[in-house]
Amino acid sequence: MSSEDILEEVQKVFRDIFDEPRIEIARDSNADNVPDWDSLAHINLLTAIQKKFKVKFTLVEMQYLKNVGDLVDLVERKLAGKRPD
């Protein structure tokens, strides 16, 4: 799965979590430039993204997420490291 595909899927999660079907995110989107992205929304986003992609983030990994691009890159690395079932 490419980073563009991951970003598209992450966008769907954002739309669901924020209950805003028109929200547009980009790699540089972060809590400072997305309305209503507070600590609770952040937890809900990370939980939903882990569930959607069937990956787990460590606390250290989550600590270094500064924007959506970092999140997309982390998901991409996690998916690349998964073995097919």
Q: How does residue 84 score in pLDDT terms, banded at 50, 70 and 90?
A: low
d(CA 41, CA 64): 17
**pLDDT higher than threshold 60 for residue 85:** no
For position 1, what pLDDT does the model report?
Answer: 86
For position 82, what pLDDT does the model report?
Answer: 72
**pLDDT higher than threshold 60 for residue 28:** yes
Q: Nearest-CA neighbor of 48 among 11, 85, 73? A: 11
Domains of the chain in start order, with CATH, are 3-81 (1.10.1200.10)
Per-residue model confidence as pLDDT tens digits over 40-75: 999 999 999 999 999 999 999 999 999 999 999 999
Say if CB 55 and CB 79 are below 8 A apart.
Answer: yes
